[in-house]
Structure 1
Amino acid sequence: MNAGGPKISIFSDPPSPRRRIRQLDDAAANRIAAGEVVERPASAIKELVENALDAGAGRIEIAYADGGRTLMQVSDDGHGIPADELELALSRHATSKIDGSDLLDIRSFGFRGEALPSLGAVGRLTIASRAAGAAEAAEITVTCGRMDPVRPAALRAGTVVTLRDLFRATPARLKFLRTDRAEAQAIGETVRRLALAAPGVGFALIDRSDDAPREMFRADPVQAEGEEALRQRARQVMGRDFVENAIAIDAEREGIRLTGLAALPTYSRGAAVAQHFFVNARPVRDKQLLGALRAAYADFLSRDRHPAAVLFLSCDPQAVDVNVHPAKAEVRFRDPGVVRGLIVSGLRHALAGAGHRASTTVSDAALGAFRGAGVAAPIYQMDRAARPALDLSRAWQAPDPAPQGFAESAAWTSARVETPAPDAQAEDATTLPLGAARAQLHETYILSQTATGVVLVDAHAAHERLVYEGLKARLRENAVPRQALLIPEIVELAADDCARLLAVADELAGAGLVIEAFGPGAICVRETPAILGTVAAEPLLRDVADELADLGATTTLGARMDAVLSRMACHGSVRSGRRMSAEEMNALLREMEATPHSGQCNHGRPTWVALSLADLERLFGRR
């Protein structure tokens, strides 16, 4: 209601007279196409860099000013464009990537022939290029759809594409851009994503907003191949911490291969900003792929944490449609269920192979907490000891040839100490990954000694994970027990939701939920998983139907059963405040080493922290 004011209705005006159908001119058509292809400066950069990659460039330099509003320039050393083809390159649907005979057999980034004419329709676009073997370079300029003649240019090789005054022809679009800083960040993210797709190509991103240009990102060409090439490029793009805490992924199913790097659950992020998917080397943002990634980590992370991963899907181009949207950021697979199953199973198998491993950032954070926020006092030259005196001091402080650990020392009284069993001493458990238990601190934490340092274990969190994994294993070995409802529950749903649920009725029955059709627009629920106890069937079915509509698959039932098992594990595990014997502590450490996913608890927190001898020496200023 619009009380007190004029009533606004699109139906209140008299019908307008019929207008004649007419053909839009090329300028208007290009501006319309630009609205889909060029959403923001980062979209233009993406199209131009992809053209450079298709041209076989070995090095690409990207420059921008004022967040891309006033200047964007992409220079490459690719094979270039002949002078007699420059004008054609600015025509709609003109491309060298495909011949148009098969739109499913696409093996290049670009293929629609819309980017360059769209950019020329909304700004001032200049293309300077020198084709391989050409005597001289040439350039062409188009301003808001008005094309100038081709003229000679000075250029050694490759192509330089310069776009100035973006949205000059459609100034209203400028109002929808964000701040220069936000647009520059989007450009940086686009370039980094493309750099991950092409490790063998060098990238440089330069901000020319000020008089002194600033290099915002650089990635030199990687000479290695395969997994090592990806690790080196990921180190350049995502940082050393990600690479050190990532596990290699390599799985294949029905002709589709999944490779890449996925971070340990303990190396999680607060937002989904470190998730990169590539389909046949093309960077994509597909909700089904992201949903499969989330499902693979669902058992290891809480809802407010997100995994980090760089994953590549390789398949026959005929099995995937990249011509879904002009921006080419979405894809459609011929068999999406196979792709989702490959991602979930491949990631879970790799995470299980990581065993009890936890991320190194956990130890770094612990070390930082020990150091505190204080600033170390400066050391002056007069305070430094001479080398002979320093060597003598270190020799005097060296440990005895037969050092005593906490468990062997009777003077250690601040912690719960148990002498290890003779068998544990005989096999020298300190050489094992989690070492030998030496003490229990505050009846909560196990202090273990390893060959290279110490390990601090949260006994409750670790045992909770062990119990949880054991419960899940027993549930997988046996069929999910079901309880029949005394009175079957009838749930009314939309017709399409009913169709989705009935299509996966066998899968739901395997998870303990038995349903059947009950007339049009209704489903009868006859049995539910016994482990869930009393279940409200209607909200459960609606959740499952929504997930099927959104992702094409459902994990709702499994997630609910896992949540019940997690609560059971929490109540059945070692409680904080309980004193443990040396045998119990060492048995817990050995079981952690043998159990997958024991490096994090059921909520994604780390179960243990390791500090090396070098870390301890730095804490006490010995290094």
Structure 2
Amino acid sequence: MTRHAPNIRPIIRQLDDATANRIAAGEVVERPASAVKELVENALDAGAERIDVTIDQGGKRLIRVSDDGCGMTAEDLPLALSRHATSKIDGSDLLAINSFGFRGEALPSLGAVGRLTITSRAAGAEGAEISVKGGKVGPVRPAAGNRGTVVELRDLFHATPARLKFMRSDRAETQAVTDTMRRLAMAEPYVGFTLSADGRSLFRADAEQGDLFGALQARLAQVMGHDFIDNAIPIDAEREGITLTGFAALPTYSRGAAVAQHLYVNGRPVRDKLLTGALRAGYMDVLASGRYPAAVLYLTCDPQLVDVNVHPAKAEVRFRDPSAARSLVVSALRHALANAGHRASSTVGDATLAAFQPEASQPSSARRYQMEYRPSATARRASFDLQAPVPASPAPDHGFAETPSARFEETATDDSQVLAPLGAARAQIHENYIIAQTEDGLVIVDQHAAHERLVYERLKAQADSNGIPSQALLIPEIVELSESDAARILSIRDELAELGLIIEAFGGGAIAIRETPAMLTRLDGPALIRDILDDLSDQGASDRLRARIDAVLSSMACHGSVRSGRRMSAEEMNALLREMERTPKSGQCNHGRPTWVKLRLSDIERLFGRRD
């Protein structure tokens, strides 16, 4: 560690503008994607309806951003390149921010580390151009152009070559720019975006029309893919002046990493631990371990309720009431997932169909050998009766040499249950899977996984209505904490008491654990208290105790549900299907796996060559 000599007083110097701009650029512009983000946000603030971005070599050689916004005059250009000069705020209230940019650092920072040229024309004014090389601003020159602004940044970090050593490959930097464009495009559905890299088009999103919710849905389908929208639940909730909208995917449409989570606050893309933790808590008991939810959520509130001036990159925010924002996200997600009922993602059925595909696929022009008509139920029943095997002599096993792995139950001729979402039970195979016929296909149900979720939801409902029973400790456990930690854990004592954990102050920084949840027979109280404190420090809230209790209820449900290998009658199978249709979150078991898959009749017919 370098220190100055103890007997020599260091000299305080005023840094020159070029050095100050390079330091600022280190905070604002980390990589080419950061430069693209700042320039595109400037275009959005200018009211652009179309933004075109071109990059070369991942943005290290060239970044060009063109927009059709309001533009700038010749008099505006030199001022735009001055530090802390902005048209977004007047400085009277740093919380009244309704724009992406407001710090006035992006353009001078980019000019300090690259070769920057700005060409712009405002309505009713002549076009003008200005250049910056190595931090030195050139004169304003006349230029031709349409209304709007073109910012061209060449040789990024040429003035700070050490930064170039930290750049990744061209491919990685290009991917980072693409991700940035996608995030911004999801925030502004009424704006068209294009991205070209090294002469090829990488991303295009045309401006959407219609109401905001419909425009967002169309834009997300374009950016995230139709699979996401087809398997997503709309979110629309409001609490204490904060509105939450967006789409959250079904638990069975999960990802192996947090790559499909996009959070916005007042239209600004953010990476916020509070909101990310709330998103995870909303899916707490419906996701398998190691899986991550997919969601695009937009929080909107009065700018006075959130501080976006936390970091120069403006990717972090701070809420005036963090608990209100977190509880809104958690409760809205849980409510939406519960209302989704028995839904499971369509990708589960697609994967099932893929498993049925033969290894050597037939050409699409394969001849069809079947008649292209679908017989009536009466005709099918008569046909099946004629094709039934007739034993040569009476035999107890209906002509089978050994016990079959599939059992077909006699069902009533009333096929009204076929019209139900999960259809009418027709068979049980391998004593674990229920085959049900629907109006337009068939459903395969894992009887144990499905019943496990049903029992789990009943246990949770009983616990919520009757409370979590607690058990008094013969000798209270004393946990020594700092005074600040003790105050923090005692601030949520009422919430912990509802879950059966009773604590109280014990003098100084110590707390006493008087009672613990009765169902948690082996509970390390001090370790749990410290884990909860870690959650409070990191996320502002903790669901750790609730998760422990839910884990016990889940285990109880697992042992109390229909086991694999149990034969079920037709009445029992249909009763299970009807209860699944009524029960929230029954589309996935307690461990996040799907409880049922659906195969459309048209897809089944395609497997057998009945249709193209």
Matched, 1:53 2:44: yes
**Structure 2 counterparts to residues 34-183 of structure 1, below 5 A:** 34-134=25-125, 136-183=126-173
Secondary structure in 1 matching 2:556: helix
**Structure 2 counterparts to residues 338-417 of structure 1, below 5 A:** 338-377=324-363, 379=365, 394=371, 398=375, 401-404=378-381, 415-417=406-408
Distance change (3 Å), C-alpha of 1:504 and 1:57: same
Secondary structure in 2 matching 1:523: strand
8 Å contact from structure 1 (residues 246, 263) kept in 2:
yes
Distance change (3 Å), C-alpha of 1:228 and 1:476: same
**Structure 2 counterparts to residues 247-266 of structure 1, below 5 A:** 247-266=233-252
8 Å contact from structure 1 (residues 405, 438) kept in 2:
no
What displacement does 1:518 show?
2.0
**Structure 2: unaligned runs, 5 residues or longer:** 390-397, 399-403
**Structure 2 counterparts to residues 177-326 of structure 1, below 5 A:** 177-208=167-198, 213-326=199-312
8 Å contact from structure 1 (residues 406, 438) kept in 2:
no
8 Å contact from structure 2 (residues 452, 589) kept in 1:
yes
RMSD after superposition: 1.9
What displacement does 1:451 show?
0.5
What displacement does 1:400 show?
6.3
Partner residue of 2:475 out of 487, 505, 509: 487
8 Å contact from structure 1 (residues 77, 159) kept in 2:
yes
Percentage of matched positions with identical amino acids: 66
Matched, 1:540 2:528: yes
Q: Find the aligned partners of 2:422 and 2:336 in 1 and give their Cα distance.
A: 21
Q: Find the aligned partners of 1:119 and 1:71 in 2 and give their Cα distance.
A: 12
Q: Find the aligned partners of 1:536 and 1:498 in 2 and give their Cα distance.
A: 18
**Structure 2 counterparts to residues 607-618 of structure 1, below 5 A:** 607-618=595-606
8 Å contact from structure 2 (residues 436, 443) kept in 1:
yes
Distance change (3 Å), C-alpha of 1:565 and 1:378: closer
Distance change (3 Å), C-alpha of 1:548 and 1:132: same
Deviates more, 1:216-225 or 1:425-434: 425-434
Deviates more, 1:461-470 or 1:497-506: 497-506
- In the alignment, residue 609 of structure 2 is paired with which amino acid? G
Deviations 1:117-138 (A, max 9, x none): 000001101000011121x311
Distance change (3 Å), C-alpha of 1:463 and 1:397: closer
Aligned length: 597
8 Å contact from structure 1 (residues 407, 418) kept in 2:
no
What displacement does 1:24 show?
1.2
What displacement does 1:506 show?
1.6
Structure 2 partner of 1:4: none
Q: Find the aligned partners of 1:207 and 1:545 in 2 and give their Cα distance.
A: 47
Q: Find the aligned partners of 1:236 and 1:166 in 2 and give their Cα distance.
A: 31
Partner residue of 2:556 out of 565, 568, 575: 568
Q: Find the aligned partners of 1:394 and 1:407 in 2 and give their Cα distance.
A: 17
Structure 2 partner of 1:435: 423
8 Å contact from structure 1 (residues 269, 308) kept in 2:
yes
Q: Find the aligned partners of 2:603 and 2:54 in 1 and give their Cα distance.
A: 42
**Structure 2 counterparts to residues 490-505 of structure 1, below 5 A:** 490-505=478-493
What displacement does 1:373 show?
4.0
**Structure 1: unaligned runs, 5 residues or longer:** 1-8
8 Å contact from structure 2 (residues 450, 586) kept in 1:
yes
Q: Find the aligned partners of 1:535 and 1:35 in 2 and give their Cα distance.
A: 48
Q: Find the aligned partners of 1:396 and 1:494 in 2 and give their Cα distance.
A: 77
8 Å contact from structure 2 (residues 433, 446) kept in 1:
yes
What displacement does 1:609 show?
0.5
Structure 2 partner of 1:554: 542
